[in-house]
Structure 1
Amino acid sequence: MRHNWMKLMLASPAILAIEALIPLGISAMPLSEIDQQDPVPEVAAIAQDTATPEPLDILEQINLYSQADLETGPLEQVNSVRELSDVSPTDWAFQAVSALADRHQCLLGYGDGTYRGNRAMTRYEFAASLNACLIQIQQRLDEGFNVLSADELNAIRRLQEEFAAELATLRGRVDALEVRAAELEANQFSPTTKLGGEVLMAPIHAFGDRGDTTAGGEDTELSFGYRLRMVFDSSLTGSDRLRARLQAVNVARLDNTTGTVMSRLGFDGESDNEVLLERLEYRFPVTDNMRVWLGATGWDYDHIFTVTNPLFEGSGDGALSRFGRRNPAVYRQPSGAGAGFEYKFGNVARLYAAYMAGNAGTPTSKNGLFDGTYSATAQLTATPIENLEVSLAYSNSYFPGGEVNVSGSTGSGNARRPFTNDVATSSNNLGVQASFSFAPVTVSGWAGWSLAEAQGSDGDVSSGDTATLFNWALNVGVPDLVKEGSLLGFIVGQQPKVISNDVSGREDPDTSLHFEALFQYPITDRINIAPGFFVITNPDHNSDNNTIWVGTVRTQFNF
């Protein structure tokens, strides 16, 4: 659609930007001056409705005009016509659109990369586009360029008068945003640091005990625990990340009453209600395919490696049990401080490696970065097809006498200390993990082996004695079952068990199975509730012990 008064401007490159806005479907002049030979009914109706408007506030005006075409989205600056997917050189207005972007730098498109040149535009959209061109023209005038003739100035003046209300509204909104932005900048937490946090609250109860002949076995009362975490993520270069996490936690370890670490929750811990620095690490890129981590404290393998258990690995939104989160054979080895890296082979595979020490900050014998508890782990993760991930991990670990914990506080007492706690122990560990998604179900699982070796002698234990540990798990999750963000999950497995031992009497006699069920439901975008339970049969892989039931309702608050 052309307008008679615009014919005076066709020959002017400087006004080409303004002319190109007019054919999009909205009148820049009163209806009485429009050429009625080629009407656009929808646009005419909108213009007629706004000819004698009732008094409306700004929001009502914006909402009224936005109904001309639903879900158009906000207008954004377009630097080149090549960014627009629906504009081609064969379009009749291609040169005009190109000029707006290339010559005048005032072309506006939609956030999805489209221009939508065939749809009617609202008066607010026209005003926004006109304002973008006026800003560019004003900048060129301020720079001393004589770019406009008298006729062009008159045309621009008429456009400004016609759209005075819309331009004033837009400028008012920009001014308000600038005021709010200035206030945020003046009161922001930090220009380089982002603060996030999580609070967990949960009633907890355990039923059953291991038996009267072993440690523990006291009656377990209903308790209520909490965990608070505050995470500070800072970037010094724009591509790195310095993460500090503060934590206060009071979630009782159930092994203190049940007598077995098989009953531990995935989010337990005690800090006497004190807020402590629980994690400190720095991550930075070396190349486009390689990132390096430096951990000072609280650093663990799931912070750098993918543990190939996507639905259940989190302590706040994953499995309820400690065992159900990840393969303990490789991901529960000594951790705390160290260094590691990730290298990507395109989108097909990733290589991880890390070294961690449990007491790196203590400069005494059998401690420090290399003389105390440590682990060195490497993992290759592959995604051969879109919905399948597999990983193979190997870890070597060492525990001085008095600090032996081969199975990472899961499994039986024999699995934790195959040769008693007083004998220094080394361990070679292998883990195989896989996860496969086929809507709406995701199935994950793992198998883990540990070959422990005594590094000293004590009583019946001789240096060089070995013990073999084994564990496995199968997880089934159904995400978004009744609501987006919900999760129905089932976990079954065998916690670490000593299946052979050179030391007589330190093999596990029976087999314990772990059964777990949970349902996570998002009450809001920031509040999740997850009732669930898990069952331990033959605790400590001993049929003389009674079955243990653990129930909880974990509630997560994110901020």
Structure 2
Amino acid sequence: MKAIPSGIASLHAQTTPVSQLSDVQPTDWAFEALRSLVERYSCLTGYPDNTYRGNRGLTRYEFAARLNACLNSIRVELSLDELPTIQRLENEFAAELSALQGRVETLENKATELEYNQFSTTTKLSGSIVLVASDLTGDRADSNPDTRIDSNLAFNHRTRLNLITSFTGKDRLLVRLQSSNRVPNFNGISGTNTTRLSFEVGNTDNSFDLNLLEYRFPVSDRLNLYLFGNSASHHYYATVVNPFFASFGGAKGSPSRFLERNPIYRIGFISPAGIAAVYQPNKAIRLDLGYLAENAAIPTEGLFGSTYSALAQLSFKPSSNLEFGLTYLRNYSPDGNLLHRTGSLFSNIPFGTGVPLVSNAYGFEAYWQINSRMAISGWFGYIDANRVDRIDGNANTINYAVNLAFPDLFKQNAVGGLGFGMPPKVIQNTNSDREDTGTGFHFEAFYEYPLTENIKVIPGIIYLTNPDHNETNGDIFVGTVRTVFNF
């Protein structure tokens, strides 16, 4: 006889003594019958949680399966008066057992067909679509308090398809295709990088481009190496110690580019390649190392002849709800643009366009989940930039943030967020004309609400004071509603 389907057979994974069934009492009318089946015939009874669920309804198919399990497990010699009963039961449920066997054969055929026609034996496809309605209002950041932002409600998308392949079961090849119809930062109408949103990953005019090519493989149980073919960023391998606000291209968390993570992780790139390593000697300590180069594919520039960024980060996680990070990043920008694209214009281009520079950036990040319903994270970042064109020049930039997250707010798997910070600001520059004389602040709130397991809605609002760290610029409000589809 064909084996019972695993979905039914799993209900009888072990012979459980009746005395260990939590929902069966000696006073139950069927207690002796159950005990006889177990002790005399070694029938498999009970669920894995040591319950029998005797009041649960039973189909004839399920009864046939249970009967078949008992008949197959009998190991004692039956008395003559028991044989007619056994034969009668087998005859009465012959049709159900035959149908059950047919169902098993059908399932086996379908499984064979699926295996033969599957997309790949080694590659899985996943993706996310972010649909965004956004608008902003307020004073344009152009040092003129009389100009207003001319904007209308915009509707855009960011779509990603991830092809994930493993050749050994421990490695991972990630090929990401991406499409978007959004020119970043509201096409520049605000006049400041501080209004840039987290889902703005670059405009492809609705065509799919190769957005990321990454291969990760283990060297040992404690060391993983990463190879990046293009579009890499340090946060792809390094922990940013900001779990509830990290946005993953707008698919969750913060609505803004600034509060996703410390801006120093972004320094230097548009589409680099490179190599990285993650070493974890134990569960509490992690070391992230990476080197990325903007024009690695161009033979005349390669890994070391153009914009590069090298990161070293040590993070300490003494418990599951507490983490600290110390970050160092060195960057060379021959065009003079740090390209973190947050904060003021001067914090991105401290000495002017085309003035080459070397920068050393330092960061401290922290995260503490106070309890199951509240977490706090934050950082401080410092950038020391120096001209390298035989003219003395130095600029210092700082930024900081504090974020509050409220997991399971009003609904399981929902997240509420409140964020505050100061985007990158130049506090000292040998060229005093390129210092930020004012101080602007960033406030935001969002609520990540899951409609289903694969669909969520994330409304958010951003309030900016003294945008671009210029006191002549009036306040700006930004509103967004993201609808995210994951598959």
Task: Report the TM-score, using the length of structure 1 for normalisation.
Answer: 0.73
Q: Residue 482 of structure 1 aligns to a residue in which SS?
A: coil
CA RMSD of aligned residues (A): 3.6
C-alpha contact 1:243 1:280 (8 A) present in aligned 2:
yes
| 1:248 alignment counterpart | 179
Partner of 2:302: 368
**Equivalent in the alignment of 1:386:** 320
Give the structure 2 partner of residue 318 of structure 1.
253
SS at match of 2:115: helix
Write the distance in 1 (CA, Å) between the matches of 2:288 and 2:468.
Answer: 33
1:41 aligns to 2:29 (yes or no): yes
Contact 2:126 2:161 in 1 (8 A): yes
Among 173, 179, 188, the residue aligned to 2:109: 179
The alpha-carbon distance between structure 1 residues 419 and 323, as it changes in their structure 2 partners (threshold 3 A), is same
Displacement of 1:336: 2.3
* Paired residues of 2:171 and 2:216 also in contact (CA < 8 A): yes
Who is 1:512 aligned against? Answer: 440
Residue 405 (structure 1) shift: 2.8
1:425-464 CA distances to partner (integer Å, 9 max, x unpaired)? 111111111111123111111110111111115xxxx24x
Q: Which runs of 5+ in 1 are unaligned?
A: 1-17, 26-37, 48-92, 101-106, 138-146
Alpha-carbon distance change, 511 to 39 in structure 1, aligned in 2, over 3 angstroms: closer
Amino acid at match of 1:432: F
1:539/1:174 Cα in 2 relative to 1: closer, same or farther (>3 Å)?
A: same
1:227 corresponding residue in structure 2: 158
CA–CA distance in structure 1, aligned partners of residues 273 and 424 of structure 2: 25
Q: CA deviation at 1:415?
A: 0.4
Q: CA deviation at 1:340?
A: 0.8
Asked if the contact 1:360/1:369 (under 8 Å) is kept, the reply is yes
Q: Which residue of structure 1 aligns with residue 283 of structure 2?
A: 347
Counterpart CA distance in 2 for 1:236 and 1:360 is 26
1:556 equivalenced with 2:487 (yes/no): no
Paired position in structure 1 for 2:133 = 203
CA distance in 1, matches of 2:16, 2:197: 66
Aligned equivalents of 1:114, 1:218: Cα separation in 2: 63
Q: CA deviation at 1:174?
A: 2.1
* C-alpha deviation, 1:172, in angstroms: 3.4
Secondary structure of 2:451's aligned partner: strand
Deviations 1:503-536 (A, max 9, x none): 2222110111001111121122211111111111
Q: Shift of the alpha carbon at 1:238?
A: 1.3
Amino acid in the other structure paired with 2:354? D
Q: Is the 8 A contact 2:310 2:331 kept in 1?
A: yes
Q: Which residue of 2 aligns with 1:430?
A: 362
3-state DSSP class of the match of 1:411? coil
Q: What's the CA shift for 1:132?
A: 7.1
Matches within 5 A, 1:54-453: 164=94, 167-207=97-137, 208-211=139-142, 219-253=150-184, 254=186, 256-268=188-200, 269-314=202-247, 315-334=250-269, 336-364=272-300, 367-400=301-334, 402=335, 404-406=336-338, 408-437=340-369, 438-453=371-386
Q: Deviations over 1:246-293 (max 9, x none)?
A: 111012322611111111011112112211010110111111122111
Tell whether the 8 Å contact from 1:393 to 1:431 is kept in structure 2 after alignment: yes
Per-residue CA shift, 1:308-345, capped at 9, x if unaligned?
A: 11101022111101001000123444362111111122
Instruction: Answer yes or no: is the 8 Å Cα contact 1:336–1:358 preserved in 2.
Output: yes
Higher mean displacement: 218-227 or 515-524? 218-227
Q: How far apart in 2 are the matches of 1:303 and 1:507?
A: 32
Deviation track 1:139-180 (CA, whole Å, cap 9, x = no partner) reads: xxxxxxxx999999x899788557645543543332232233
Q: Kindly provide the CA deviation profile for residues 387-411 of structure 1, in whole angstroms up to 9, marking residues without a partner as x.
A: 11111111111111x3x33260111
Count residues with an aligned counterpart.
Answer: 453
Query: Residue 549 of structure 1: CA displacement?
Result: 1.2
Any unmatched runs of 5+ in structure 2? 1-11, 20-25
Q: Partners of 1:369 and 1:151 in 2: how far apart? A: 84
Contact 2:143 2:470 (8 Å CA) reproduced: no
C-alpha distance in 2, partners of 1:382/1:131? Answer: 56
Q: Quote the Cα distance in structure 1 between the aligned partners of 2:362 and 2:312.
A: 10
Task: Assess, with a 3 A threshold, how the Cα gap between structure 1 residues 510 and 234 changes in structure 2: closer, same or farther.
Answer: same
- Give the AA of the match of 2:476: I
What is the DSSP-based 3-state SS (H/G/I as helix, E as strand, rest coil) of the residue aligned with 2:432?
A: coil
The structural deviation recorded for 1:213 is 5.2
Do the aligned partners of 2:372 and 2:407 also contact (CA within 8 Å) in 1? no
Q: Give TM-score, length-normalised by structure 2.
A: 0.83
Check the 8 A contact 1:24/1:120 in 2, yes or no.
no
Matched AA of 1:189: F
| Partner Cα separation in structure 2 for residue 421 and residue 278 of structure 1 | 27
Q: Verify the 8 A CA contact 1:357 1:373 in the aligned structure 2.
A: yes
- How far off its partner does 1:227 sit? 1.0
Contact kept? 1:407, 1:415, Cα under 8 Å = no
State the identity %.
40
Residue 23 (structure 2) aligns with: none
Q: Which runs of 4+ in 1 moved over 4 A?
A: 20-25, 42-45, 107-110, 113-137, 147-152, 154-163
Distance of 2:114 and 2:231 partners within structure 1: 33
SS at 1:524 equivalent = coil
